[in-house]
């Protein structure tokens, strides 16, 4: 990992051992203000807001990460390496590849395929398969049952390109059972594996590649409540 000034500027001890990671900093603000007790802002460098509060008495932080694997790679690495974070849950949006996974459904990323070359930094001799923490996955399953929430779980795709030009590019991924596409999980899972931490990705489907249905920016920022509750309950499970 290269040296740089740093994406986070928080005092030691200001960030909890459990952190939710939305891409949108305004979603981080929404989660902090609506779900955490006594949230305090600890970071606003580059507008990527970070807050720490308590959920059911348990210290929890929420940190915006921006878009894409390079950005997630920076924030998650600093949270683990510089601030001692032990559990990281990405809460974000994804595009569905399947008829039975609809807009606003919850998808949990058991593993994350990718077309990115992010893995090159670990100098591995073959193909690496980034995967979620079993501990957090089991906790999320228990939390979903408690909340009465249904979800789909499986392989997701962390893509490097937001505007893919070839028509139907996603169909090959669908044939391999990939559930949906987002842009950050694989980097999070790789960093967590290297640093021996627990990571999970919980997504809400925001758009559909088959039906072309989409949610609005405001909906993505503030209304995916079930995903937020599930992530928080996973932390305290």
What is the rounded distance in angstroms from the CA atom of residue 60 to the CA atom of residue 37?
Answer: 10
165 torsion bin: left (phi>0), alpha (psi -120 to 50), beta (else): alpha
Token pair 């949610």 in the structure block, residue: 215
Ranges of the chain with pLDDT below 50: 1-4
Q: What is the reported pLDDT for 5?
A: 57
User: By the 8 A CB rule, do 34 and 46 touch?
Assistant: no
d(CA 7, CA 74): 7
- Spatial separation of the C-alpha atoms in residues 75 and 48, rounded to whole Å: 10
- At 2 the pLDDT is 40
DSSP for 184-227, written as a single string: SHHHHHHHHHHHT-EEEEEEEEEEETTT--B--HHHHHH--HHH
Q: Considering the chain, what percentage of its residues have pLDDT values greater than 90?
A: 84
User: Would you list the domain boundaries of the chain?
Assistant: 18-236
Q: Against a cut of 0.85, is the pTM above it?
A: yes
Instruction: Tell me which CATH homologous superfamily contains domain 18-236.
Output: Nucleoside phosphorylase domain (3.40.50.1580)
pLDDT score recorded for residue 221: 67
Helix spans in the chain (H): 25-35, 69-81, 134-147, 171-175, 185-195, 217-222, 225-236
């Amino acid at each position: 990992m290269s040296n740089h000034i740093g994406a986070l500027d928080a005092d030691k001890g200001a960030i909890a051992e459990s952190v939710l990671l939305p891409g949108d900093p305004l979603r981080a603000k929404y989660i902090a203000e609506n779900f955490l007790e006594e949230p305090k802002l600890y970071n606003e460098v580059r507008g990527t807001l970070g807050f720490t509060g308590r959920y059911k008495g348990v210290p929890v932080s929420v940190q915006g990460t921006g878009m894409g694997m390079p950005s997630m790679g920076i924030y998650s690495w600093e949270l683990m390496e510089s601030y001692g974070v032990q559990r990281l849950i990405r809460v974000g949006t994804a595009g569905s590849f399947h008829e039975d996974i609809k807009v606003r459904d919850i998808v949990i990323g058991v593993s994350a395929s990718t077309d990115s070359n992010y893995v090159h930094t670990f100098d591995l001799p073959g193909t690496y398969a980034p995967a979620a923490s079993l501990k957090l996955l089991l906790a999320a399953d228990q939390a979903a049952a408690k909340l009465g929430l249904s979800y789909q779980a499986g392989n997701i795709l962390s893509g490097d390109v937001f505007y893919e030009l070839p028509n139907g590019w996603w169909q090959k991924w669908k044939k391999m059972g990939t559930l949906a596409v987002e842009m950050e999980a694989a980097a999070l899972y790789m960093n967590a594996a290297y640093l021996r931490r627990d990571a999970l990705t919980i997504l809400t489907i925001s758009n559909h590649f088959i039906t072309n249905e989409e949610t609005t920016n405001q909906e993505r920022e503030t209304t995916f409540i079930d995903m937020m509750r599930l992530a928080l309950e996973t932390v305290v499970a």
